[in-house]
Structure 1
Amino acid sequence: MGFPKGPRRLVAVVAALVVTAAVAVIVHRVLAPAEVSTVARGGYPAAAPPAAGVVGRLPVAPLIVDSRLRVYAAHRQVYADRPVDGRHRTTPYWSYRRWPAELTGVVASGRTVVSRWSDGRVVALDASSGRVLWRADGPVPTASGAVVRRTGAATVWNPRGLYLTDLVDGRTVVVVAGAADARGMELVGGRELWRVNLPGDCRSDVGTTASGQLIGVDTCAGPATVEFRDAADGVVRERWRPPGGPDELVVTPLGCRTGRSDCPGLRTAGPGDAGGRGWLLGGGEPIAAPALDPAGATLIDEQAISVLDGAVVGRSARSGAELWRSAGLGPARVLAVQPGRVHLLTEANDLVTLDPATGVQRSRFSLNVGSDGTGWVPGAVAAVDGYVAVERLREPVDPDGDDQRYYLTAEAVILAAT
């Protein structure tokens, strides 16, 4: 059998070219970088704080935004649903998707949701509509090697290398840090304020202070040193080591507004130490706050909150003086804090909320929904706008188990209003 000749050969060649072109178009559409934005079609919901109690359960971790929406993270998508007090996850109110980049972090301030992607791109969205407000190039995220669980809690509640902080002039800065550099961008408009090179593996970021600084730990030239970089211009204003501290430091921010952003205090400890030393942060060198030394102590409104012998105690973080004491909870732990609220979890998994100014109880109820029961261990936690969301882990906790073994149920996150 020979090859076609004349007109038949020409038709065959043309047909082959058409097929090749069609395949090329399909491959391009499937594999080419893409951005898909599905904006909101309904009205922006009103903020309506519900009565104290369990709101519902969700399969993924919600980031409460503007007291009106829940924002979630997927592998290549950030999306929102409503109402904020919905019992289950609902059809997306808006959605933003990128390909082939992966979503690595989400933070929010007011009605602005900022997402960070594996290719370094930073994209800000309007929470009320899902429309893109601005895009900017940022540093490629540092590979953490951490397991990304199905709830996405690490992405929306504690994103590494993506922080917010407020300057004294009222501006909010988005600080983005990667393996080789860090950048500061204005939340409004996305204008880049500064860019600095970083030394790499011998330095890590911890979070931001409530006074407008990026906290880092530098081990490049000797013992671990904490540095405070001004978020307005990227200049390191303070390099500090705790007096008599170990050469290696574990630095944990305390009392942060969300995740590791806007933190008014920190604790320093050696590797493996159960406790450590607590410090208050301001514009200069950290101030010792012994009331924050005990493991489990946290900070809110310059008060150190801890559980001692079954009683919750509020002390002045500066003087250590006891301000109030709330007894009768039995074995309990401080679960989270937020403005105007201290949240504790009892041995029976009751959620108890106290007023941090007085220690007076605001609410108490069992963290149970449906027939799930209370036989679980808390995982990641987030508290904002009067809400508390908790991952529920299966007992005994197996950190190396797959998601089905690790989580209590398919809808592993319980959401409560306090």
Structure 2
Amino acid sequence: MALRNLPRRSRNAVIAALTVALIAAAGVTVWRVLRPTEVIAAATSTYPEATIPIPGRVGSLISAPLIVEDRLRVYAKKREVWSDGPPSYHYERSAYWSYRRWPAQVTEIVLVHQGNRPLIVTSWSDGLLVALEAESGNVAWRQQGDTLQDEYAGRRTGAQTVYPTSRLLTTEQGFITSNSYIRGYAADGTENWKRLTPTTPECHGTEFTTQHQWLVLDTCTKTLKRLDTRTGAALPELPINAAVVEPIACVSGHSQCRAMRTTGETAQGWILTGPEPRESKPLAHPGSTLVQQIVATADAENTVTGRDPETGQALWTWQAPSPIQLLASGTDRVFVLLTDRTLAGLDLKTGENLTRSGVNYPPEPESPYAISNVYTANRYIVLERVNPNIPADANDDTYYFTHRPVLVAIA
């Protein structure tokens, strides 16, 4: 019988029932789309082989990578962490594995090692910590922690998220989270200790880690406050009388830094590889870096000098063919980027030019660029390139050097 032939009361009842059914169906659909979800797309192919290509430019990427064992690149965007490989491939590839959560956002990621097992520890805007196995993309563990940041802040490249300078930092034993509490974790996700942050929010300056310490500049007292990352015990404050602290020779971001430069009435350099800082006069030089037991300084427009970290005595010099733009620490060499877009790798003992090659891409603009983030892994160097003298709050198209601003090269 047609609906129009039913009595009015019956017709209204049928319409009401259909309406309730449609609303319920729509609600189910909305819930399926918007409910909290976790999507794991584990690796289905073999772990990429380690590759070190010939020196020079390797790739021009949109996203900034963490490089794992010369085999894998790991990236982050708003709600997803994913990987591809090998690192020598010139563009991003289809995901080797990926991990996504909804509606939480990625806030920081770091690489830690549980024995010989590399893990990607990820923090999320709802406070959850999730460790992913680098080889497979499977979840190794989950741990509810503090909300370290309310939302993704990585912009186009994700560099701020992939190379964090605060909140989630690694140590030799595991990693540290910092908010109102400082918490020390083992690589397996076990929380070993926690304590209140030793600074007030308005005095909390630059924070960073060494292998065994967490340090923060108290901008009110101009001292460095320290914790032992193995036990959480407070260590004596360092009265450096500095307004600015620059971590140097870090593994990634502000994690496991081997040195620092402090600036107050004068600049001072410090080596942080022991239980107490040791002053290093050559590290006070702007732009200098520490590689193993050598301090590399740019002493003139185109001269690099390797110096004894204690005495400052010159051990070798290298004359560059053009002005120096950047010195960076590699595993066994000094990376030198020149203004003509040449990348050189220098031997630590002799200053010999081991490698030198152009890293310019012909289609890219020939105008100068500034470097906002530097990351090195073995012989790889990753540069996040931005346009000079552009404020950081400019839109991405104005701020970044090109649509693919992340340069990956080998020295």
Same fold (TM > 0.5):
yes
Structural mapping, 1:175-214, within 5 Å: 175-178=176-179, 180-187=180-187, 189-198=188-197, 199-201=199-201, 202-204=203-205, 206-210=207-211, 212-214=212-214
Q: Are the structure 2 counterparts of residues 134 and 214 from structure 1 closer, same or farther at C-alpha, using a change threshold of 3 Å? A: same
Aligned mate of 2:100, from 93, 97, 100: 97
Report the AA paired with residue 164 of structure 2. Answer: N
Structure 2 CA distance for aligned equivalents of residues 26 and 369 of structure 1: 48
Aligned mate of 2:148, from 138, 141, 149: 141
Report the AA paired with residue 125 of structure 1. Answer: L
What runs of 5+ residues in structure 1 fail to find an aligned partner?
167-171
Q: Are the structure 2 counterparts of residues 226 and 396 from structure 1 closer, same or farther at C-alpha, using a change threshold of 3 Å? A: closer
Cα-to-partner distance string for 1:182-216 (whole Å, 9 max, x where unaligned): 211111x2111111122540334511113x11111
Structure 2 CA distance for aligned equivalents of residues 313 and 415 of structure 1: 25
Q: Does residue 163 of structure 1 match 2:133?
A: no
* 8 Å Cα contact 1:185/1:194 also seen in 2: yes
Structure 1 CA distance for aligned equivalents of residues 175 and 231 of structure 2: 12
Q: Does residue 343 of structure 1 match 2:335?
A: yes
3-state SS of paired residue (1:334): strand
Aligned mate of 1:264, from 249, 258, 268: 258
3-state SS of paired residue (1:317): coil
Q: Which residue of the partner structure matches residue 381 of structure 1?
A: 374
Structural mapping, 1:318-397, within 5 Å: 318-379=310-371, 380-394=373-387, 397=390
RMSD, aligned CA: 2.4
Structure 1 CA distance for aligned equivalents of residues 154 and 318 of structure 2: 38
Cα-to-partner distance string for 1:74-100 (whole Å, 9 max, x where unaligned): 111110012211111111111111111
Q: Which residue of the partner structure matches residue 113 of structure 1?
A: 120
Q: Which moved more, 1:78-87 or 1:16-25?
A: 16-25
Q: Which residue of the partner structure matches residue 174 of structure 1?
A: 175
Number of equivalences:
399
Cα offset for 1:306?
A: 0.7
Q: Which residue of the partner structure matches residue 312 of structure 1?
A: 304
Structure 1 CA distance for aligned equivalents of residues 77 and 7 of structure 2: 53
Q: Are the structure 2 counterparts of residues 91 and 328 from structure 1 closer, same or farther at C-alpha, using a change threshold of 3 Å? A: closer
Cα offset for 1:373?
A: 4.9
Q: Are the structure 2 counterparts of residues 24 and 31 from structure 1 closer, same or farther at C-alpha, using a change threshold of 3 Å? A: same
Q: Are the structure 2 counterparts of residues 297 and 195 from structure 1 closer, same or farther at C-alpha, using a change threshold of 3 Å? A: same
Cα offset for 1:160?
A: 2.5
Cα-to-partner distance string for 1:230-274 (whole Å, 9 max, x where unaligned): 1112111221112xx25xx2111111122211112111113xx8x
3-state SS of paired residue (1:16): helix
Cα-to-partner distance string for 1:330-354 (whole Å, 9 max, x where unaligned): 4203342121021111121211111
3-state SS of paired residue (2:235): strand
Structure 1 CA distance for aligned equivalents of residues 236 and 293 of structure 2: 22
Q: Which residue of the partner structure matches residue 285 of structure 2?
A: 294
* 8 Å Cα contact 1:60/1:72 also seen in 2: yes
Q: Which residue of the partner structure matches residue 74 of structure 1?
A: 77
Cα offset for 1:378?
A: 3.2
Q: Alignment identity in percent?
A: 34
* 8 Å Cα contact 1:63/1:156 also seen in 2: yes
Cα offset for 1:399?
A: 3.6
Cα offset for 1:147?
A: 6.4
Q: Which residue of the partner structure matches residue 238 of structure 2?
A: 240
Structure 1 CA distance for aligned equivalents of residues 192 and 143 of structure 2: 12
Structure 2 CA distance for aligned equivalents of residues 391 and 183 of structure 1: 30
* 8 Å Cα contact 2:64/2:75 also seen in 1: yes
What runs of 5+ residues in structure 2 fail to find an aligned partner?
none
* 8 Å Cα contact 1:378/1:390 also seen in 2: no
**TM-score, normalised with respect to structure 1:** 0.89
Cα-to-partner distance string for 1:89-118 (whole Å, 9 max, x where unaligned): 111111111111111111113521111112
**TM-score, normalised with respect to structure 2:** 0.90
Report the AA paired with residue 43 of structure 1. Answer: T
Cα offset for 1:30?
A: 2.8
3-state SS of paired residue (2:363): coil
